Structure 1
Amino acid sequence: MSMQIDIGISDELRHEIGEGLSRLLADTYTLYLKTHNFHWNVTGPMFNTLHLMFEAQYTELALAVDLIAERIRALGLPAPGSYAQFAKLTSLQEETRVPAAEEMLRQLVKDQEAVVRTARSIFPAVEKASDEPTADLLTQRMQIHEKTAWMLRSMLG
């Protein structure tokens, strides 16, 4: 029997926030996987630049999934952790082909922006609950994804 969680957030709001964070976790993990895939498979004149850039991005995303999952756990919910769960929860499209480098950039811009929208969608419940730790996490994630989308977009000219 586990102890009751009493952190000043109602059970209902903890669950609502946790479900939103689970969607964010699924988006982040899916973006991690796609970025890692593109790192492995990119070709063309921009190979070295994109290979290194994608590596920096998937490394950052790998750290982010841990932060998001740990926040879900701190709120008392189980963190999703399977491909099947992520596939149900994510708003991103997987890529099974090997697109050209420019198409990789276009997809990653769209996906980075989609992750921002997912994070932003959780804010009403977070603000209602005065959940500053989650608000801080979301703000940081949005800032990183918006900046990354800008950098990727800039590569497209």
Structure 2
Amino acid sequence: MANQATKETEIKSAVNRDDRKALSKRLGEVLATSYVLYHKIHAYHWNVVGPLFYAVHKLTDEQYQDIAAAIDEIAERVRALGFPTPVGLTSYMQNSVVEDVSGLPSAEDMIKELAADHHKLSEQMRKAVEEADKHDDVFTADLLTSRIGAHEEAAWMLTSLLSK
């Protein structure tokens, strides 16, 4: 069976093609960062040890499940705009504002790193919301605004584990 690459899909939209392409590029970057963060959360979920094990294990379980669902929504939005999603781990790493897992830090450092990464993704999403607003794409702006809230809450919950 031949491998057929996904091509641009012609769609009817109030948002013109060039604007949809720009939005798809921004969403592709958000998708890449989300995927890298998903992987990091999952890796830390599997490998956390120490007194914070149970709290971090439970919280990261909720977070990686939430972000997995969001990844699918974001990818489907890119496709609905008429463009293919980024593919391949290399593409994700090149477009992510979150760095890949490079070792296994302490539970405290995992928490700090994940909280910072949620904030990085939120900032990237804010830029994508600005792009969506500029092109009057209210659906994309709404999707991302909702996700910003989820990531800010995730960062807060993680940071709260370290409060004294």
The CA deviation string for residues 132-151 of structure 1, in whole angstroms up to 9 with x for no partner, is 11011011100100111111
Partner letter of residue 89 of structure 1?
N
Q: Structure 2, unaligned stretches of length 5 or more?
A: 1-6
Look up the match of 1:113: 119
Given candidates 83, 86, 89, the residue that maps to 2:89 is 83
Note the 1:33-112 alignment, pairs <5 A: 33-112=39-118
Asked if 1 retains the 8 angstrom alpha-carbon contact of 2:40 and 2:101, the reply is yes
Given candidates 126, 131, 135, the residue that maps to 2:132 is 126
What is the aligned-residue RMSD (CA, Å)?
1.4
Residue 113 and residue 3 in structure 1: after superposition, are their counterparts in 2 closer, same or farther (change >3 A)?
closer
The CA deviation string for residues 94-141 of structure 1, in whole angstroms up to 9 with x for no partner, is 122110000000100110000101100112221122111101101110
Alpha-carbon deviation of 1:2? 7.4
- The normalised TM-score by structure 2 is 0.92
Alpha-carbon deviation of 1:66? 0.2
Note the 1:2-41 alignment, pairs <5 A: 4-41=10-47
- 1:151 to 2:149 alignment: no
Residue 48 and residue 78 in structure 1: after superposition, are their counterparts in 2 closer, same or farther (change >3 A)?
same
Q: Which consecutive aligned stretches of 4+ in structure 1 deviate over 4 angstroms post-superposition?
A: none
Count of matched residue positions in the alignment of Structure 1 and Structure 2: 157
Give, in whole Å, the separation in 2 of the partners of 1:108 and 1:27: 12
Give, in whole Å, the separation in 1 of the partners of 2:28 and 2:9: 22
- The normalised TM-score by structure 1 is 0.96
Q: Percent of counterpart pairs with the same letter?
A: 36
Asked if 1 retains the 8 angstrom alpha-carbon contact of 2:33 and 2:121, the reply is yes
Give, in whole Å, the separation in 2 of the partners of 1:57 and 1:156: 17
Look up the match of 1:142: 148
Give, in whole Å, the separation in 2 of the partners of 1:13 and 1:24: 17
Describe the SS at the equivalent of 1:123: helix
